[in-house]
Amino acid sequence: MCSKAESVQAEVREIFESIQGEGILIGIRQLFVRFARCNLSCVYCDTPTGVAENCINHVTGETVRNPVSGEYVASFFNAKVHSICFTGGEPLLYADFIAELPEIRPFYLETNMSLPEEAKKLRHVDFVAGDFKVREALLVEESYEELFENTVKCFRVLKNKRNRLTFCKFVLPEKFDSGEVINSAESIKDYVCCFVLQPVFGVGRLDAVIKLQKELVDIRDTRIIPQVHKYLGVL
């Protein structure tokens, strides 16, 4: 008879160890599980979001055929990493898979916060780095109102609490509407420990981001944090 972790499978693009390069836990060592596919299309996306026939395992140097089992992924959880980072693509597309994994190390979820019903399936999540997409991030703008509502619901489901640290990340392209960001922040301020303003890598002028920070600190702690792994040139 198979264990639960053996019975669920997922399309994983790659497995690797590196440092966390974004958000308030920058620098911690993590095992990254990067899932294939995403339900959104962002103008600044820097990861492949399509099908992944194979899973590239940088820990062992092997390439294995997808889908892979939960048991396979869990076999790389180890005590030298601070936590297991589920990223993508969109990891909530694999909520059933994550829910069945043994929580040997803390779970850190990087998500676009668009799938509240999937988020409800997660039994353990210790850290949530949740995006709140700005309208200008999306290639298909007409879906923004629905995405806004789902994002608020998702933050409610995965909210900051005694045994979970949840923060909200606004990834800011060169042009964005500060009023809309403030409205978004107001709608989830009770569910997060802080806001992170992350300018898209390579965006030169930060005046508008600094101005926005001055407004958001009245609502909740707000930090400007770039993608440090890109400056360091690591995965």
- Of 4-12, 16-24, 71-79, 83-91, the window that binds ligand SF4 (rule: CB under 6 A) is 83-91
- Of 4-12, 35-43, 143-151, 219-227, the window that binds ligand SF4 (rule: CB under 6 A) is 35-43
In angstroms, the CA 93 to CA 105 distance is 21
Q: Which of 49, 57, 69, 184 binds ligand SF4 (CB under 6 A)?
A: 49
In angstroms, the CA 64 to CA 117 distance is 30
Q: Which of 70, 89, 91, 199 binds ligand SF4 (CB under 6 A)?
A: 89
Helix (H) or strand (E) holding 226: none
Pick the closer one to ligand SF4 by CB: 147 or 216: 147
Roughly how many angstroms between the first and final C-alpha of the chain, as a whole number?
Answer: 38
Q: How many whole angstroms from its chain centre is CA 9? A: 20
Q: Which of 23, 70, 88, 130 binds ligand SF4 (CB under 6 A)?
A: 88
Please state the closest distance from residue 44 (CB atom) to ligand SF4, in A. 7
Q: In terms of residues, how long is the chain?
A: 235
Q: Are 160 and 192 in contact (CB under 8 A)?
A: yes
Interacting residues toward ligand SF4 by CB under 6 A: 38, 40-42, 45, 47, 49, 88-90, 112
